[in-house]
């Protein structure tokens, strides 16, 4: 397992801004994430210092170069899960390896892909879950689905095998995007992949059945939502971070309610602009640097 002082999740404006500050301060910095949505070939004409505009792609490339200049380790890796570890830090699982970090800055933007089930809200907390590490225990020996088409869903399904043998993946009608290595793991664990879409849920008080788009009705006790890629709210559920809808609650020092976890950019849901994300990234870095210094001083005294 790789180790780092601070792991920044997200390679957008907030994450790169934070990385510039932490790396420049001499803190071992690892940035996990691939090209963000902002990295497109479109003009940005309201960002400070670029009166003739700059493309999103160019801005992100400059940000990456700037962070790398100070020694930040930038990796195009998809984060599948973040967990508390026994050392008071955090273990991060990506699509390629595991990383242990003393602190985290979440800068993932915001994207909650809804599964398109018409009565899903009726069963949230009564069979519908968004966090295997939070709720998997409650489905020991029961029938569960994971809704999702990619490696995030595959990872969640594999984690559920720790609690029950009856696990299926439903891609919600989307094209499967599971890598060969994960497909082999699913096969070895006898996890079936269904291409149909769950369109309706049934059950008295708690989930009991799922109606599929082909008309079939299947018995199911729990459904875990893992559409697209893991988002800030997925990490928040797993770590116990307070949220406000799809946004993470952070104070004006970008601190969350969990010591050592900070958040910046669109994932905190303020003014969703690049300039704001850059500023919040700098504040999050400042707070994280102070946290790590205090943690090191306490360890030395101990």
Q: Which domains does the chain have, with CATH numbers?
A: 2-111+231-301 (3.50.50.60), 120-225 (3.50.50.60)
User: Percent of the chain scored above 90 by pLDDT?
Assistant: 75
Average pLDDT over residues 195-223: 94
Is the pLDDT reported for residue 271 higher than 90?
A: no
From the number of C-beta atoms within 10 Å of its C-beta (0-12, 13-18, 19+), residue 125 rates as: exposed
What pTM, to 2 d.p., does this model score?
A: 0.83
| Confidence (pLDDT) at 244 | 86
Q: Which of 40, 41, 21 is nearest to 31 (CA)?
A: 21
From the number of C-beta atoms within 10 Å of its C-beta (0-12, 13-18, 19+), residue 180 rates as: exposed
| Confidence (pLDDT) at 112 | 59
pLDDT, tens digit (0-9, with 9 covering 90-100), for 169-198: 999 999 998 989 999 999 999 999 999 999
| Confidence (pLDDT) at 44 | 85
* Confidence class for position 118, pLDDT limits 50, 70, 90: confident
Strands 29-32 and 2-9: parallel
Strands 209-212 and 217-219: antiparallel
């Amino acid at each position: 397992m790789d180790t780092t002082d601070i792991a920044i999740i997200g390679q957008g404006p907030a994450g790169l801004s934070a990385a510039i500050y932490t790396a420049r301060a001499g803190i071992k910095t690892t940035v996990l994430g691939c090209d963000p949505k902002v990295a497109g070939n479109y003009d940005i004409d309201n960002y400070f210092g670029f009166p003739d505009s700059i493309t999103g792609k160019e801005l992100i490339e400059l940000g990456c170069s700037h962070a790398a200049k100070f020694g930040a380790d930038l990796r195009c890796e998809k984060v599948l899960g973040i967990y508390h570890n026994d050392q008071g830090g955090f273990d991060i699982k990506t699509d390629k390896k595991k990383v242990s970090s003393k602190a985290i800055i979440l800068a993932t933007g915001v994207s909650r892909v809804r599964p398109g089930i018409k009565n899903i809200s009726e069963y949230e907390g009564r069979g519908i879950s968004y966090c295997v590490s939070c709720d998997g225990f409650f489905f020991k020996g029961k029938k569960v689905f994971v809704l999702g088409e990619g490696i995030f869903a595959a990872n969640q399904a594999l984690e559920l095998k720790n609690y029950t043998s009856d696990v299926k993946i439903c891609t919600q009608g989307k094209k499967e995007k599971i890598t060969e290595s994960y497909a082999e793991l699913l096969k070895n664990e006898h996890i079936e992949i269904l291409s149909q879409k769950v369109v309706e849920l049934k059950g008295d008080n708690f989930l009991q059945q799922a109606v599929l788009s082909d008309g079939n009705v299947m018995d199911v006790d729990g459904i875990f939502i893992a559409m697209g890629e893991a988002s800030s709210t997925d990490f928040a559920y797993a770590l116990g971070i307070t949220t406000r809808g799809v946004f993470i609650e952070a104070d004006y020092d970008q601190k969350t309610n969990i010591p050592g976890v900070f958040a910046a950019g669109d994932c905190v849901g303020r003014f969703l602009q690049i300039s704001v994300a850059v500023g919040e990234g700098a504040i999050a870095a400042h707070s994280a640097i102070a946290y790590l210094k205090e943690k090191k001083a306490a360890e030395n005294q101990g």
